[in-house]
Amino acid sequence: MNNAAEKLYRTGDLPDEELSALILSEDAEENAALVKYADEVRRKYYGSKVYLRGLIEISSFCKNNCLYCGIRRGCHDAQRYRLDRPAIIECAAKGYKLGFRTFVLQGGEDPVFTDDLMCGVISELHEKYPDCAVTLSLGERSRESYRRMKEAGADRYLLRHEAASPELYSKLHPPEMSLENRKKCLYWLRELGYQVGAGFMAGAPFQTADDIIADLRFMQELRPHMIGIGPFIPHHGTPFAEKKRGTLDLTLKLLGIIRLMFPDVLLPATTALGTISPQGRELGLKTGCNVVMPNLSPADVRKKYDLYDNKLSSGSEAAECLRSLEEEIENAGYHAVHERGDHASMQNKGD
Ligand code: SAH
């Protein structure tokens, strides 16, 4: 069974049992083949391009209580902050000068960020930077809220589904949150014309190979434009403080599988992947990733957006160090580009 990677490369899918065996396989030859095919496929759709997104973490207040997350409502020693509209615009201005053409506004579910406030921020960004894409990652909101923000000029929305298995979802979240609502939000976003990002943590507590298969099957149905995959990393102030973190090997394995199952998807080498290993991001790029999201948040709040312990926030992770990140990307054999970086299906041929 050491040709599963090749079969996945040729057919774009595998039966559950073979997928499960590939997820669990420690066969070095098999894993090397997966990396090789993943790179071949990313180059077919995106060449050597790596898209940069400027991440602006707009609020560390959150009304939710996800068991894994360091900014959950119940984390009493979390430091809370929120950026106001001028501060967000200022981050974008700084990012624009550095060459970013996508801004990602991410935050906890903070009721202060009403639809009116968000629509104001989005339309100002849209007017000032018409050549840039605006991505939102603000959790679960109403259909009307998503509709208004789209109308104001938002292009994309990242909402990891977190776990497509109802059993696992309920072990990672408090009873008042539901997988059903999470999925409903993702389908609304799709219908409304957003480029949509789903995803989950590799090695989340209690996660089995069957759970991962459920995630892959759900994403085959949703067909997201982007898939965010990073290792779970415990945060000391959460109920999962003592749980084991996700491994580099499992995360890379899933990135490779996802590149072969979703050949033209936008796949970030995440901050969490860079946090668990100094080579994490480089290895991610070599295993099918084609996006990186450096941090554009104001330096004095960065440590406060504390999703998990030791989250990277300086070095080549920081937008100011863009040149060193660009070098890192070149050294890995790729090329950082200053483009909006839409999904392959939305890019004009010959651009
Ligand atoms: N409130 C937004 C943004 C959440 S933060 C939302 O609901 O989508 C972005 C992502 O960080 C989450 O989707 C989650 O998958 C990831 N994350 C949270 N805690 C983490 C942890 N302890 N380890 C790794 N990733 C984590």
Report the pLDDT value the prediction gives residue 348, as an integer from 0 to 100. 61
Residue nearest to atom 6 of ligand 1 (CA): 139
The reported pLDDT for the residue numbered 315 is 72
Burial class (CB in 10 A: 0-12, 13-18, 19+), 102: buried
pLDDT higher than threshold 70 for residue 350: no
Least confident of 53-67, 72-86, 262-276, 314-328: 314-328
Return the pLDDT at 157: 98
Only one residue has tokens 């290993």, namely 277
CB contact set of 47 (below 8 Å; sequence gap of 6+): 335
Q: What is the pLDDT of residue 252?
A: 98
Q: Where are the alpha helices (DSSP H) in 262-340?
A: 271-276, 280-286, 322-331
Q: Which atom of ligand 1 is nearest to the CA of 106?
A: 3
Q: How far is the CA of 146 from the centre of ligand 1 (A)?
A: 19
User: Using a 6 Å cutoff on CB, does residue 109 contact ligand 1?
Assistant: yes
Residue 194: which pLDDT band, with cuts at 50, 70 and 90? very high
Does residue 2 carry a pLDDT above 80?
no
Nearest CA to ligand 1 atom 18: 69
What the block records as the tokens of 273 is: 């992947």
Contact (Cβ atoms closer than 8 angstroms) between residue 246 and residue 204: yes
Ligand 1 touching residue 305 (CB < 6 A): no
| Residue 1 in this model has a pLDDT that exceeds 50 | no
Mean pLDDT of all residues belonging to the chain: 96
Report CA 3 to chain centroid distance, whole Å: 29
What is the C-alpha separation between 122 and 150, in angstroms, rounded?
9
Predicted TM-score (pTM) of this structure:
0.97
Q: Is 226 helix (H, G, I), strand (E, B) or coil?
A: strand
Could you identify the residue written with the tokens 């605006």? 134
State the pLDDT confidence band at 15, using cuts at 50, 70 and 90.
very high
Q: Is residue 317's pLDDT more than 90?
A: no
Closest Cα partner for 73 from 33, 110, 125?
Answer: 110
Residue 82 three-state SS: strand
pLDDT of residue 218: 98
For the segment 73-82, the average pLDDT, to the nearest whole number, is: 96
Return d(Cα 78, Cα 63) in angstroms, integer.
13
* pLDDT(351) > 60: no
Backbone phi, psi, residue 174, to 5°: -70, 160
**Relative to the CA of 160, which ligand 1 atom is closest?**
13
Q: Report CA(138)–ligand 1 centroid distance (Å).
A: 11
Q: How confident is the model at residue 320 (pLDDT cuts 50, 70, 90)?
A: confident
Ligand 1 atom closest to the Cα of residue 272 is 24
Q: CB–CB of 242/277 below 8 Å?
A: no
- Cβ-contact 197, 228 below 8 angstroms: yes
Does residue 284 register a pLDDT over 50?
Answer: yes
pLDDT mean over 219-245: 98
Q: Which amino acid is at 225?
A: H
> Rounded mean pLDDT of 57-62?
98
At residue 349, does pLDDT exceed 70?
no
Distance 200 CA to ligand 1 centre (A): 9
Does residue 319 surpass a pLDDT of 80?
Answer: no
Token readout for 122 is 């989005």
Q: What is the pLDDT of residues 138-181, one digit of tens each?
A: 999 999 999 999 999 999 999 999 999 999 999 999 999 999 99
- Measured CA to CA, the distance from residue 136 to residue 112 in angstroms comes to 16
